[in-house]
Amino acid sequence: MTARTSVLADTACAGLSALVTGAGSGIGRAITLRLVELGARVTGLGRRAETLAETGSLAADRERYDYEVCDVRDTEAVVAAVGRTGARHGLGLLVNNAGGQFFAPATGISAGGWRAVIDLNLTAAFTVTMAAYPFLAEAGGSVVNISLSGVERGGMGMAHSVAARSGILGLTRTLALEWAKDGVRLNCVGPGTVLTSALSDEAGRHVHDNLVARGTPMRRATAPEEVAELVAFLAGPAGAMMTGQLIQIDGGAHLGPGLHMLPEAYA
């Protein structure tokens, strides 16, 4: 069953200026499209111009979307891209969505593999957030970090990613304390399995078959649009007293058997 996800008022994000990393596909694209639909203007950021442009072609109002081609692991490029965006439009919302990992038992993760996943999912989010801070403080804005469901319980085959996202949770809560004086809020959203194209390879199918079919009490995947609606809620006035939270949007997957019951998925 697909849920009816669009519940916010049409103007819920009117006047908001947002930066969404990984806006060219999957969850980041859904967040971008929904924010524009709700009245925001959005800069998408990613490494591929074609997919970022395609997101714009799907937007409800193309005038309220632009993009920056940038690798979030390139600190210099991030500082420049975020600086340009902030100077041009201001920044009331940052969504750190770009991320990912490969699935392997910890013994199958090389030093280079560890570094790649930590750099992408932890260090890059820190870099982008720090570059955005002056603009967020100016606007009294907020940050939503896209994390993982189950991040507090661990997940087999994801040692690097869970470690990175646990770091993000610690960073989120610490900055929620440090930046409250500026009116800046930070929250984490932890999706369960979302059937984006990122999960179309063999490992992804394995995760889907096990996590959705056997590990999700609600017995279905999370829709990207559901994640987008939650992000828009957190960014708008209804979320004004929410900071330092991890909200899991996973059909109860974090309560279910969990990845520890599914070792064969990563054998």
Ligand X SMILES: CCCCCCCCC/C=C/C(=O)SCCNC(=O)CCNC(=O)[C@H](O)C(C)(C)COP(=O)(O)OP(=O)(O)OC[C@H]1O[C@@H](n2cnc3c(N)ncnc32)[C@H](O)[C@@H]1OP(=O)(O)O
Work out what residue 98 binds among ligand X, ligand NDP, none; the CB cut-off runs from 5 to 8 Å by kind.
Answer: ligand NDP
Q: Which is nearer to ligand NDP, 47 or 206 (CB)?
A: 47
Strand partners, 146: 189
The structure tokens listed for 67 are: 């993009």
Work out what residue 81 binds among ligand NDP, ligand X, none; the CB cut-off runs from 5 to 8 Å by kind.
Answer: none
Residues that bind ligand NDP (CB under 6 A): 21-22, 24-28, 46-48, 51, 71-73, 97-100, 120, 146, 148, 191, 193-194, 196-199
From the centroid of its chain, how far is CA 237? 20
Residues 199-238 that bind ligand X (CB under 6 A): 199, 207, 211, 215
Work out what residue 131 binds among ligand NDP, ligand X, none; the CB cut-off runs from 5 to 8 Å by kind.
Answer: none
How far apart CA 140 and CA 231 sit, in angstroms, is: 17
How far apart CA 115 and CA 246 sit, in angstroms, is: 25
Residue 57 touching ligand X (CB under 6 A): no
How far apart CA 86 and CA 252 sit, in angstroms, is: 37
Residue 74 beta carbon to ligand NDP: minimum distance, rounded to whole angstroms: 8
Residue 150 touching ligand X (CB under 6 A): yes
How far apart CA 203 and CA 199 sit, in angstroms, is: 7
One-letter identity of residue 167: G
What is the rounded end-to-end Cα distance, in angstroms, of the chain?
32
How far apart CA 51 and CA 249 sit, in angstroms, is: 26
Residues of this chain that interact with ligand X (CB under 6 A) are 100-102, 104, 108, 110, 112-113, 116-117, 120, 148-150, 153, 155, 192-193, 198-199, 207, 211, 215, 253-254, 258-259
